[in-house]
Chain A
Amino acid sequence: MFDNLPLWPARASTTAGSVDALYIFLVALSLFVSVAIFTMICIFALRYRQRKGREAEQIEGSTILELTWSAIPLAIFLFIFAWGAVVYFKERTPPRGATQIYVVAKQWMWKLQHEEGQREINELHVPVGRDVEMIMTSQDVIHSFYVPAFRIKQDVLPGRYTTLWFRPTRSGTYHLFCAEYCGTQHSGMIGQVVVLEPAQYEAWLSGGLASGSLASNGQNIFQQLGCMTCHRSDTQGRGPNLVGLFGKRVQLEDGRTVIADENYVRESILNPSAKIVSGFKPIMPVFQGLVSEEQLNTLIAYIKSLNQPPAGAAATPSMVSPGAKPQQPKE
């Protein structure tokens, strides 16, 4: 509204509309109830104020009234619950095929890595109209990724990944806040989300220093750390074959079945003995302390890339055999 006195946040994502609708309904409901109660109190207090000669009438109560004004609010509340749940469900279910961006939060900055390789600090460039999924972890304490204009927020935890998604609908620059108190510069851990028109976004992508896509960087680390010594693309490896692994169910030796998601891959690298794949021995070395969160992100991106053949003329997805040179980055 006014520049110096905004009364409503910008609306810049597909979720924003749904959230605002629920909010406006609740504001209207609250206004109605408050005015109703206020009016009734005023009327009663004035009409029945203390006057000489008039005594109060002792009324015990009215069960029917009690049940009515319990049932109606309950019904309204359940309606609000259902509406809120529907919006929440949409907010927490990233659509398939979303562009993935990896976020590492630390005291007191946001580090973002695009799949194509761009790294940003405290700033995130995204194109209008594309689904974006943020895969986030923290290096130290709990933070929270919050973009008011998108109406989305998610705590970012150390030791695991949490996700959120959005689809921007309007270009512009919007606040990014840390919303979970994290120490001295909590209020300084802010940045901006820059939403660009698709053409501008492509320009931005190719403009920066591309040090290789996330996945190709991951592939480099994969080799440097000697992972393919055991994780070969055949059945002879001492470790499970990682091709086509991501997202699939994995049978563990203790009988449990888990899905190979980001948290599983991360745990397998940092604490391999936690979940042993059925049929394999617990001989994988521990990489806790040997890889940074950013490197973990690249490794995960690489393992994800093993699920599908790369577009265009390229080799079938197989791991580079030990000793060979890494593939060239795709851009």
Chain B
Amino acid sequence: MWVFLGTEIMFFGGMFCAYLIYRLAYYNEFAVASRTLSLPIGTINTAVLICSSLTVALSVRAAQLGKQKLIVILLILTLLFGLAFLGIKGYEWHEKFVEHHIPGSSFSFDEPMPGHPEAKIDPRHAQIFFSLYFAMTGMHALHMIIGVGIFSVLIFMSWRGRFTPEYHTPIEIGGLYWHFVDIVWIYLFPLFYLIDRHK
């Protein structure tokens, strides 16, 4: 799993690289576009994921202690948190759809330049921000969905009593994967939601 996570880092890395380059080139547009994302929702999602990582870690501990019922409860909680995250993301994307911020033919972006209310931001550059936003959060969401699948299987397995203090490798590995997906979000959140927020 560690090896696989290495490949995942390279996979997301390509997109982070593209993000870095465009953010340096189009800083103002990125800042303005970032401000149109909902900070409260992003924060809630971050909190949800962090809680889910807590429940994952606790479930590994429960497995080490052989507490089968606790394992199942914690895994179910993790799953619920994951689903909550996805649901909130879905709502967020819907909002973006309504605002016509989804890249493509219906994209429209009409925000003024910072400090110069009479001028407009170049919508093409804002579109690049949103292209990267949807590509990266989309890939992340896809990995979450896969994680939900993995954890469903883990819940089933633990409910059937397959794990003991000596053998609970699938939970550890599933946990590693989940932590990784969480960490990717921890990077995505400030890069997309927190540009220039201190101003």
Residue ranges of A at the interface with B (Cβ–Cβ < 8 Å) = 254, 271, 273-274, 276, 281-283
Q: Which of B118, B120, B122 has the most CB of A within 10 A?
A: B122
Q: Assess whether B122 is in contact with A281, with CB atoms less than 8 Å apart.
A: no
A274-B122, A281-B119, A282-B118 given; 15 more Cβ-contact pairs under 8 Å: A254-B28, A271-B122, A273-B113, A273-B119, A273-B120, A273-B121, A273-B122, A276-B116, A281-B116, A281-B118, A282-B113, A282-B116, A282-B119, A283-B118, A283-B119
**Neighbouring B residues of A281 by C-beta, 8 Å:** 116, 118-119
The list of the 8 closest CB pairs from A to B, nearest first, reads A282-B119, A282-B116, A273-B119, A273-B122, A282-B113, A271-B122, A281-B116, A273-B113
**Neighbouring B residues of A283 by C-beta, 8 Å:** 118-119
Per the bound structure, the CA–CA distance linking A173 and B121 in Å amounts to: 49
**Neighbouring A residues of B122 by C-beta, 8 Å:** 271, 273-274
**Neighbouring B residues of A271 by C-beta, 8 Å:** 122
Whole-angstrom distance between the Cβ of A100 and the nearest chain B Cβ: 27
Per the bound structure, the CA–CA distance linking A254 and B113 in Å amounts to: 13
Per the bound structure, the CA–CA distance linking A274 and B25 in Å amounts to: 9
**Neighbouring B residues of A276 by C-beta, 8 Å:** 116
List CB contacts (< 8 Å) of B16-56 with chain A. 28
**Neighbouring A residues of B113 by C-beta, 8 Å:** 273, 282
Per the bound structure, the CA–CA distance linking A282 and B28 in Å amounts to: 13
**Neighbouring B residues of A274 by C-beta, 8 Å:** 122
- Give a binary string over B110-133; 1 marks a CB under 8 Å from any A CB, 0 the rest: 000100101111100000000000
Residue ranges of B at the interface with A (Cβ–Cβ < 8 Å) = 28, 113, 116, 118-122
**Neighbouring B residues of A273 by C-beta, 8 Å:** 113, 119-122
**Neighbouring A residues of B120 by C-beta, 8 Å:** 273
B116 closest partner in A (C-beta):
A282
B121 closest partner in A (C-beta):
A273
B112 closest partner in A (C-beta):
A282
Whole-angstrom distance between the Cβ of A232 and the nearest chain B Cβ: 20
A276 closest partner in B (C-beta):
B116
Whole-angstrom distance between the Cβ of A285 and the nearest chain B Cβ: 10
Per the bound structure, the CA–CA distance linking A254 and B119 in Å amounts to: 16
**Neighbouring A residues of B118 by C-beta, 8 Å:** 281-283
**Neighbouring A residues of B116 by C-beta, 8 Å:** 276, 281-282
Per the bound structure, the CA–CA distance linking A10 and B119 in Å amounts to: 55
Per the bound structure, the CA–CA distance linking A49 and B113 in Å amounts to: 79
Q: Could you show 18 A-B contacts with beta carbons less than 8 Å apart?
A: A254-B28, A271-B122, A273-B113, A273-B119, A273-B120, A273-B121, A273-B122, A274-B122, A276-B116, A281-B116, A281-B118, A281-B119, A282-B113, A282-B116, A282-B118, A282-B119, A283-B118, A283-B119
Q: Which of A273, A274, A281 has the most CB of B within 10 A?
A: A273
**Neighbouring A residues of B28 by C-beta, 8 Å:** 254
B25 closest partner in A (C-beta):
A274
Whole-angstrom distance between the Cβ of A121 and the nearest chain B Cβ: 31
**Neighbouring A residues of B121 by C-beta, 8 Å:** 273
B26 closest partner in A (C-beta):
A274
Whole-angstrom distance between the Cβ of B162 and the nearest chain A Cβ: 52
Per the bound structure, the CA–CA distance linking A282 and B114 in Å amounts to: 11
Per the bound structure, the CA–CA distance linking A80 and B119 in Å amounts to: 53
B120 closest partner in A (C-beta):
A273
Whole-angstrom distance between the Cβ of B119 and the nearest chain A Cβ: 4
Whole-angstrom distance between the Cβ of B185 and the nearest chain A Cβ: 31
A272 closest partner in B (C-beta):
B119
B119 closest partner in A (C-beta):
A282
Per the bound structure, the CA–CA distance linking A281 and B116 in Å amounts to: 7
Whole-angstrom distance between the Cβ of A264 and the nearest chain B Cβ: 14
Per the bound structure, the CA–CA distance linking A225 and B120 in Å amounts to: 21
A284 closest partner in B (C-beta):
B119
Per the bound structure, the CA–CA distance linking A122 and B113 in Å amounts to: 43
Whole-angstrom distance between the Cβ of B28 and the nearest chain A Cβ: 8
Whole-angstrom distance between the Cβ of A159 and the nearest chain B Cβ: 11
Per the bound structure, the CA–CA distance linking A273 and B126 in Å amounts to: 13
**Neighbouring A residues of B119 by C-beta, 8 Å:** 273, 281-283
Whole-angstrom distance between the Cβ of B23 and the nearest chain A Cβ: 14
Per the bound structure, the CA–CA distance linking A225 and B113 in Å amounts to: 25
Per the bound structure, the CA–CA distance linking A109 and B119 in Å amounts to: 38
